[in-house]
């Protein structure tokens, strides 16, 4: 003959099981706690990390870093370098297009420009 | 300062305050948070998954996400435990989906419980009862299991559970009520086996 179970009693049993479960918590192993803590320390932001890291980085740059700082940053230094390289190239290669441009602007080849009258001319004139 | 004394002092801090200290680089806060939160994450995951090894993986992953979230954590937006329970819930749901619920084998896979120490026979009865409870929990639909465990084992309030599960309080009440009815029905046939008849 099948026994009929009182629903209230079944509820009480369940509450009893819950209470037991609350008092028997799952205990983490030491290995798990160690792993979690290691993750935490690895991921932890380091205080003063940025100020401490910057000076070695600057020193590592050496001459170029100091030059860049002197000329107002790496961008300015790069611009000056490019201009210097272009000047050297034009001076050595003397591109024909440049001569054409010179003729067009000045009309004829310019041999001499006397910016200060010679001493002889000065004396003759007086 | 000795480590134990430091931990004792930190134990008085809220979770959010500890997380702030962790984000500020205090290693003692990492230790205090680990000791405080891992048992909760692990216990909840073990109840949802019914598998101790998988529960450990989930607890570690959830804590890793917490460590990474710490620098951007804004106090007052969410409780740390609510956030952690939500992450554990999602990780467990993913695992349950991927493994396609095994047949109930919880008697073998039930997580190891701390020994209550009331004697060997009583201890065995308690272990049997916990295994039976776990087997019954495993038989519940996922959402009912989450709600019942959070309410009756983890001890959260209904509004807290609503925040964890991202549903309304009424839905929580409905899930826990249906879950308890189902558990009672499952366990009703095992009363004698679990030693309840002798106590009447």
Map tokens 């109930």 to a residue. Answer: B104
pLDDT of A27 over the 60 cut: yes
A-chain residues near B183 (CB < 8 A): 14
**Shortest Cα–Cα distance, B167 to chain A (Å):** 24
| Cβ contacts of B180 within 8 Å, gap of 6 or more | A11, A14, B148, B152
For residue B103, pLDDT beyond 70? no
Split at pLDDT 50, 70, 90, the class of A116 is low
The predicted structure's pLDDT at residue A53: 47
The answer to whether domain B1-100 and domain B102-200 are alike in fold is no
**Of the candidates B52, B111, B126, which has its C-beta nearest A20's C-beta?**
B126
CA distance B74 to chain A (A): 16
CB contact under 8 A, B34 and A37: yes
CB of B145 within 8 A of CB of B137?
A: yes
- CATH-assigned architecture of domain B102-200: Orthogonal Bundle (1.10)
- C-alpha to C-alpha distance for B80 and A113, rounded to whole angstroms: 84
Q: In this predicted structure, which of A19-28, A71-80, A101-110, B92-101 has the lowest mean pLDDT?
A: A101-110
Question: Per-residue pLDDT for A52 more than 80?
Answer: no
Domain B1-100 architecture = Orthogonal Bundle (1.10)
pLDDT at B104 over 50: no
Nearest chain A alpha carbon to B53: A32
- Give the domain ranges of chain B: 1-100, 102-200
Q: How far apart are alpha carbons B119 and A90 in whole angstroms? A: 98
A65: which 2 tokens? Answer: 């870093």
pLDDT, tens digit, for every residue of B18-66?
999 999 999 999 999 999 999 999 999 999 999 999 999 999 999 999 9
Which of the four pLDDT bands, split at 50, 70 and 90, describes residue A18? Answer: very high
């Amino acid at each position: 003959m099948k026994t009929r179970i009182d629903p209230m009693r079944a509820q009480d049993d369940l509450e009893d099981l819950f209470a037991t479960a609350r008092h028997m918590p799952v205990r983490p192993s030491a290995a798990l706690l160690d792993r979690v803590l290691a993750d935490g320390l690895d991921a932890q932001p380091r205080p003063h990390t940025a100020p401490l890291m910057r000076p070695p980085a600057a020193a590592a740059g050496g001459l170029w870093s100091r030059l860049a700082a002197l000329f107002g940053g790496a961008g300015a230094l790069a611009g000056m370098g490019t201009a210097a390289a272009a000047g050297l190239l034009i001076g050595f290669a003397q591109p024909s297009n440049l001569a054409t441009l010179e003729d067009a602007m000045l009309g004829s080849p310019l041999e001499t420009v006397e910016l200060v009258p010679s001493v002889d001319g000065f004396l003759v004139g007086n | 300062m000795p480590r134990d004394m430091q931990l004792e002092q930190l134990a008085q801090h809220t979770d959010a305050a500890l997380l702030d200290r962790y984000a500020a680089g205090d290693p003692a806060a990492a230790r205090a948070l680990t000791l405080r939160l891992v048992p909760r994450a692990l216990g909840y995951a073990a109840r949802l998954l019914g598998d101790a090894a998988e529960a450990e993986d989930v607890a570690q992953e959830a804590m890793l996400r917490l460590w990474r979230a710490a620098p951007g954590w804004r106090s007052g937006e969410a409780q740390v435990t609510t956030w952690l329970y939500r992450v554990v819930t999602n990780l467990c749901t993913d695992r349950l989906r991927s493994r396609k619920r095994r047949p109930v084998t919880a008697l073998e896979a039930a997580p190891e419980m701390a020994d209550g120490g009331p004697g060997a026979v009583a201890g065995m009865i308690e272990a049997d009862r916990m295994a039976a409870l776990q087997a019954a929990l495993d038989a519940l639909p996922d959402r009912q299991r989450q709600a019942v465990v959070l309410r009756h084992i983890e001890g959260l309030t209904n509004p807290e559970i609503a925040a964890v599960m991202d549903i309304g309080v009424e839905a929580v009440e409905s899930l826990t009520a249906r879950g308890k009815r189902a558990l009672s029905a499952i366990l009703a046939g095992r009363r004698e086996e679990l030693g309840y008849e002798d106590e009447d």
